[in-house]
Amino acid sequence: MDTVIQLLLTSLSIGAIYGALGVAYVVVHRMTGMVNFAVGDIAVAGAFGAVVASAVLPPIAAIMVGGVSAALVSVVMYHLAIHPLRKQGLMVQTIVTLGVGIAIRSGLQLIFGTGPYQFAPITDGPSVILLDAAITRQSIWVVVITVIAYILLAMFFNRTMTGKALSACAVNRYAAGVVGINLTVMATIAFALSGAVAGVVLATQVPSSFITVGAGFALGLKGFIAAILGGFDNIGLTLAGGFLIAIVETLAALTISTSHASTILFGLLIVLLIVRPQGLTRKLVTERV
Amino acid sequence: MSEPRTASSPRAPGTLVRRGRPIAGPVLWIAAVVVFASTAGSYYAGLGATVGILAFLALGMILVTGYAGQFSLAVGAFYGIGAYGSALLTVTYGWPGLLAIVASAAIAALVAQLLGRPLFRLRGHFLAMGTLALTEVFYLLALNLEITGAAGGLGGIAPLNLLGVDIVRTDQFFVLNWLLVGMVLWGCLRLSRGREGRALKAIRGHEAAAAAAGINIASSKTRIFTASAIISSVGGSLYAHQVLYVNPAPFGIETAIDILVIAVLGGMRSPWGAIVGAIALEVLNKSIEALLPGILGQGAVGAGQNLILGLLLVTILILRPDGIAGALGALARLVRAHLPGTSALDAGAPDTDEGSVADSTLGMAALRLADDAMHARPAPGAAVRVLQAQGLVKRFGGVTAVDDVSVSIRAGEVLAVIGPNGAGKSTLVNLLSGNLAPTAGTVHIDGELMTGKPAFELARHGLSRTFQTPCLFDGMDVAATVAVGAHLQGQVGMLRSALPTPGAVREERRLQGDVTAMLTRLGLIHLAARDARSLSLGHQKQIEIARALVSRPKVLLLDEPCAGLNKAEKKKLMLLLRALGAEGIAVLVIEHDMEFVMASADRVQVLNFGATLRTGTPAEVQADQTVIDAYLGVAPRTPAPSAPAGVRLTGGAASTIREQSPTGGDK
């Protein structure tokens, strides 16, 4: 029983990160129909933004800076690399995100090297004991900030005019353009939100473990699994998907071996694509012609 | 070493089969390879051999990503399967080298089949992520399993023995690798002009149109993915037998991305891109290694190289999506266009050959009468019903686009479907052609149930169609575009499309003959070498008709064929439809041009609000008050000032009529 609760608690904060990265995929995909391969590296860029800011700012402010810097990187990427290719097919746009991801990763490596980085937690103190299982205070912050980000996103999409316009683009870009929605502005907002969510949550995680420049690739793949589980459409289910993946990963590391945990997850990604591409949702996102 | 380019040489009108000197290219290639290997010295031969393997892998990627337009990163995994397969089978199990190469390639092919079938049902980027995961899974397995020697890898691999000769020296590696590259390149070039290559490019250009031509999209994609897996695997085996040691690092995602950069840099649209890109990337990497330490320090080389790789990928795609090979091709065309005497082909032919028909001052109706007098037609009741649809319903969410419509067309009959915008005409065509699945109802062709079958299956049963907005394929000339329509007239598969077996050559000549005949019949032959998508709307619609007809259909569905045509062209089209009817084809045409409809049709079916309003001869329909009401609206009988008059009242009229004459009334 203790191990089960400990497993769930550990998975909660890891899952929040996977879920947040998944949400970053979903927000961009809903708007543009493309998959942004650079999501993981953008999140890492945000985490390093927080690392730099933590030298002069308190942790919570540094984390916010992390979110903002990831959003900036994401928006700059959209305008420099993707917007010029808007007339090309989705395949070319997808390939270009892969190139951007490599550029971000190696650019960060040139600046920071390959070593681990960390900064102080938001609240000091020992781990909190919950039903005989321990969770660090920073991990609680990770979960709290993910939930806040989720609530804000949900309110944005359901309550505000801009959010509704963004959803309209998701349903039919052409029609949205015809009724006067500026697609470039909407894409900019989508990329900013995507970067911000991924960056802020990963930055919050930094104090409880550490961050390296190479982390983005694996994180991006795991976030992608969460996005599939959310049907590439539903933000709530994507977060739930992230939690599920974290449980599978932690379980595999516990019962099989840590070295095979990632292999199992990526194998799961392939199996999921083959047998249940719609994830936890009921309907498959079909090709928009 | 260049394949002789004969496309530009003046050719006799009517011949589209490209004749060149098929021997010259390969001979030049072999000579160049042997000369380089014997003069370059050991270091450069070794470097060249490595570049050869990368070019080999890039050829595999161009087949999938360039030809078929499917973004795959599986190359890392398949390359690894070949290398580890060869290493394990020869070292651990003592198999002969060649047998191990074949066995490894078979395993790669099997994995490609298992993964490809389900993944190709999904949207493109799912394949990208799935194959990325596959490459990563392979890397992690190689790194963590005992059988693969984990991080330490496997050593003790013997050199490859070919016909009693051990391939041990770098110049031998160079010759072997580049001869294989040459073979695959040659096959790729042939494939791109053959039946299956056209099918792949058609899929890349427009999937619905490819399916309408009878191409089984999932199968084509899976087969080319499998071919690419085999190529990658053989590349891996070569690597294992030349480095004589395998470890996980070269088979991860970095290699897949290197190959992607090569393909993008060189250009995805032509297999030459793989060769150009592999050489260019190596030159670039060597210059970075020479220059970067001076700028950023020794430690920065790895990251700096990657940074440049990533930025290169982005810049090339933005500036020149067709890569260096594409740029060179464009340059060559530019030079050729400025050379005297060679541009005659494109400019020489008249743009429209105004025949006697088009000049004629006769109206369409009179032309039709004159035409009917010449053709003796079978009695309408005698012919068989080729296409029969019963009670078709299609709902999109809450909108019912087609509501209980029945259609039947006999062989040799021209049926026009008309109706105001939004009446459900195009949806009806999509239901009949299998591009959409009906919510309810059935479609039979020749008495065989077709409901729910995919579009390519219906094409195989003799149904052919055109689209409301022309769906032509990017980067294909008119002759090739029309040849896609002849897909079902041939049987040559992927392998035989790449190899010139006598049967394959004969078949290709026959298909090209069909294409030439069809283009001549429609008066489009002078456009044969032009890029199809650069032509006017009217020409594009006619090319679609040629593409649909060259498949020798039993049923032809035309969705607004008159859009973009001038009066003379419409007259010719009308006569063509009459002629097709006389040949026994069942023709269904959707059109708004009433003069055209009334002149070309044997029967007219009027749709309104997704339901059949009236079916009858052109004369009957023209005289029908309800049809006139549906098109023009009727004066309010009971004034309802607040309601939007047109919509409400035509709707009312439609429902009254439905009570009077049941839908699908077939005379």
219-258 in A: which are within 8 Å (CB) of B? 221, 224, 257
Q: Are strands B414-418 and A133-135 parallel, antiparallel or unpaired?
A: unpaired
Q: Using CA coordinates, name the residue in chain B closest to A78.
A: B314
- The proportion of chain B whose per-residue pLDDT surpasses 70, expressed as a percent, equals 85
Mean residue pLDDT of chain B comes to 81
Å between B85 CA and nearest CA of chain A: 20
* Contact at CB, A96 and B318, closer than 8 angstroms: yes
* Sheet (strand B603-608) strand order: B463-465, B555-559, B586-590, B414-418, B603-608, B611-616
Lowest mean pLDDT among A77-81, A129-133, B80-84, B211-215: A129-133
Cβ(A76)–Cβ(A204) below 8 Å: no
Asked if the model's pLDDT at residue B11 lies above 50, the reply is: no
Asked if the model's pLDDT at residue B298 lies above 80, the reply is: no
Q: Which helix (H) or strand (E) holds B186?
A: helix B170-193
* Contact at CB, B314 and A289, closer than 8 angstroms: no
Strand partners, B395: B400
Cβ contacts from A onto B, under 8 A: 131
Would an 8 Å CB–CB cutoff place A79 in contact with chain B?
Answer: no
Angle at alpha carbon of residue A83, lines to A79 and A84, rounded to 5°: 105
- Rg from Cα positions in chain A: 18
Output the pLDDT for position B532.
83
Classify residue A169 as exposed, middle or buried by CB count within 10 Å of its CB (0-12, 13-18, 19+): buried
Residues in B closer than 8 angstroms to A88, CB to CB, are: 317, 321
Q: Best interface-test mutation with A: which of B75, B113, B129, B265 has the largest number of A CBs within 10 A?
A: B129
What's the whole-number mean pLDDT along residues B15-20?
Answer: 45
What's the whole-number mean pLDDT along residues B86-97?
Answer: 86
Phi, psi of B657 (to 5 degrees): -65, -40
B225/B180 Cα distance (integer angstroms): 19
The pLDDT confidence band at residue B649, using thresholds 50, 70 and 90, is very low
Asked if the model's pLDDT at residue B4 lies above 60, the reply is: no
B308/A99 Cα distance (integer angstroms): 10
Cβ neighbours around B163 below 10 Å, total: 4
The separation between CA B109 and the C-alpha centre of its own chain, rounded to angstroms, equals: 22
pLDDT digits (tens, 9 = 90+) for B483-529: 888 888 888 888 887 887 888 888 888 889 899 988 888 888 888 88
* Contact at CB, A217 and B128, closer than 8 angstroms: no
Q: How far is CA B396 from CA B195, B301, B399, B437, in A?
A: 36, 56, 5, 11
Output the pLDDT for position B223.
92
Lowest mean pLDDT among A2-11, A81-90, B589-598, B644-653: B644-653
* Sheet (strand B440-445) strand order: B399-410, B385-396, B440-445, B448-449
B596/B364 Cα distance (integer angstroms): 7
Q: Helix (H, G, I), strand (E, B), or coil: what is residue B415?
A: strand
Output the pLDDT for position B568.
84
Q: Which helix (H) or strand (E) holds B81?
A: helix B75-87
Strand partners, B586: B555
Asked if the model's pLDDT at residue B661 lies above 60, the reply is: no
Q: What is the ipTM of this complex?
A: 0.86
Classify residue B328 as exposed, middle or buried by CB count within 10 Å of its CB (0-12, 13-18, 19+): middle
pLDDT digits (tens, 9 = 90+) for A139-175: 888 889 999 999 998 888 888 888 887 777 767 777 7
Output the pLDDT for position B667.
33
Phi, psi of B605 (to 5 degrees): -115, 125
Angle at alpha carbon of residue A175, lines to A171 and A180, rounded to 5°: 115
Dihedral sign computed on CA atoms, order B565, B568, B570, B573: negative
Give B229's contacts (C-beta < 8 A, 6+ positions apart).
B60, B74, B78, B105, B108, B109, B111, B112
Nearest to B244 by CA among B80, B104, B87, B139: B87
Cβ(B303)–Cβ(B295) below 8 Å: no
The DSSP code for B293 is H
User: How big, in percent rounded to 5, are the helix, strand and coil portions of chain A?
Assistant: 75, 5, 20
Lowest mean pLDDT among A70-79, B10-19, B559-568, B576-585: B10-19
* Contact at CB, A34 and B304, closer than 8 angstroms: no
Which amino acid appears at position A164 of this protein?
A: K
The pLDDT confidence band at residue B129, using thresholds 50, 70 and 90, is confident
17-56 in A: which are within 8 Å (CB) of B? 34-35, 37
The DSSP code for B159 is P
Asked if the model's pLDDT at residue B644 lies above 60, the reply is: no
Asked if the model's pLDDT at residue B3 lies above 60, the reply is: no
Asked if the model's pLDDT at residue B231 lies above 60, the reply is: yes
Dihedral sign computed on CA atoms, order B78, B81, B83, B85: negative
- The proportion of chain A whose per-residue pLDDT surpasses 70, expressed as a percent, equals 97
Burial B506-525 (b: 16+ CB within 10 A, else e): ebbeebbebbbebbeebbbb
B498/B523 Cα distance (integer angstroms): 31
Output the pLDDT for position A42.
95
* Contact at CB, A88 and B321, closer than 8 angstroms: yes
pTM for the full predicted model: 0.84
Q: Which helix (H) or strand (E) holds B106?
A: helix B97-119
* Contact at CB, B123 and A102, closer than 8 angstroms: no
Angle at alpha carbon of residue B494, lines to B489 and B498, rounded to 5°: 105
- Taking each helix axis from N to C end, the angle separating B42-61 and B24-39, rounded to the nearest 10 degrees, works out to 140
The pLDDT confidence band at residue B539, using thresholds 50, 70 and 90, is confident
Lowest mean pLDDT among A87-91, B175-179, B361-365: B361-365
Q: Are strands B448-449 and B611-616 parallel, antiparallel or unpaired?
A: unpaired
pLDDT digits (tens, 9 = 90+) for B103-114: 999 999 999 998
* Contact at CB, B314 and A103, closer than 8 angstroms: yes
* Contact at CB, A102 and B122, closer than 8 angstroms: no
Burial B5-24 (b: 16+ CB within 10 A, else e): eeebeebeeeebeeeeeeee
Q: Helix (H, G, I), strand (E, B), or coil: what is residue A135?
A: strand
Q: How far is CA B454 from CA B172, B210, B211, B212, B218, in A?
A: 50, 12, 8, 9, 11
Q: Using CA coordinates, name the residue in chain A closest to B208.
A: A289
Mean residue pLDDT of chain A comes to 86
The pLDDT confidence band at residue B368, using thresholds 50, 70 and 90, is confident
Q: How far is CA A4 from CA A1, A133, A144, in A?
A: 5, 9, 21
pLDDT digits (tens, 9 = 90+) for B568-623: 888 888 888 888 888 888 899 988 888 888 888 888 888 888 888 888 888 888 88
